[in-house]
């Protein structure tokens, strides 16, 4: 995006994007621990978000790995034994709604694994290596995965161990649980819970966060 800093550490409306994201989870009374995986050079920057958390919440920063999956695995390995449910969330999704988090938590507590997702609004084409259309899947069965993705602690640990043993690289955490042979429930989220990936996403995030700050003043 033409920035020297990784996206989570860009500052908008007085906070880093990571700070805005962490703040979305800070109000949950059941929150007992936050683990952030980042590069060694950004550990100090990541530590700033601790001020947005209640004092009783355990806070750890660990060094990530070569792939996202490696980073999450490193984080899972330092989760406290008393944790029942693990919520894995993208640092650059600062607009997740608390009611969506709560709904996903309830579903995961009941089913063992749940993710936020939204129905695909565009027609999806499956294509060949030669860019020829192979199939047009029925859109009503296609949903775009979001985060948080929430799992029982033992289940997600088993899923990551199983993936490691079979050299399986998933596209999200739920795919590892699926690869283990376990079911994952989908909870409908919000289109506001977008991931800041492209320059247009960043401009939209700046507009929304600055607007929210102005409205709160």
In this structure, CATH architecture of domain 7-216: Alpha-Beta Complex (3.90)
| Per-domain residue ranges of the chain | 7-216
pLDDT in tens, 115-161: 999 999 999 999 999 999 999 999 999 999 999 999 999 999 999 99
Would you call the peptide bond into 148 cis, given omega within 30 degrees of 0 as the criterion?
A: yes
pLDDT in tens, 66-99: 999 999 999 999 999 999 999 999 999 999 999 9
Three-class secondary structure assignment of 41-76: HHHHHHHHHHHHCCCCCEEEEEECCCCHHHHHHHHH
Overall pTM > 0.85: yes
Judged by phi (left if over 0) then psi (alpha if -120 to 50, else beta), residue 156 lies in: alpha
pLDDT in tens, 158-208: 999 999 999 999 999 999 999 999 999 999 999 999 999 999 999 999 999
Q: What is the DSSP string of 87-145?
A: EE--TT-TT--HHHHHHHHHHHHHHSEEEEEEE--S---EE-TTS-EEE---GGG-EEE
């Amino acid at each position: 995006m033409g920035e020297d800093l990784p996206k989570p550490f860009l500052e908008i409306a007085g906070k880093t994007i990571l700070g805005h994201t962490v703040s979305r989870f800070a109000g949950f009374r059941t929150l007992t621990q936050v683990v952030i995986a980042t590069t060694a050079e950004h550990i100090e920057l990541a530590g700033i978000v601790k001020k947005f958390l209640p004092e009783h919440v355990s806070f750890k920063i660990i060094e990530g790995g070569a792939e996202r999956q490696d980073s999450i695995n490193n984080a899972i390995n330092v989760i406290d034994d008393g944790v029942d449910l693990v919520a894995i969330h993208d640092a650059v999704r600062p607009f997740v709604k608390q009611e969506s988090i709560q709904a996903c938590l309830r579903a995961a507590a009941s089913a063992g694994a749940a993710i936020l997702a939204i129905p695909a609004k565009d027609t999806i084409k499956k294509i060949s290596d030669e860019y020829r259309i192979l199939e047009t899947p029925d859109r009503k069965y296609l949903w775009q995965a979001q985060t948080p993705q929430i799992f029982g602690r033992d289940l997600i640990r088993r899923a990551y161990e199983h993936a490691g043993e079979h050299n399986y690289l998933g596209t999200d955490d739920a795919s590892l649980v699926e690869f283990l042979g376990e079911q994952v429930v989908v909870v409908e989220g919000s289109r506001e819970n977008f991931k800041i990936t492209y320059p247009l996403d960043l401009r939209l995030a700046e507009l929304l966060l600055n607007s929210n700050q102005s409205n709160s003043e």
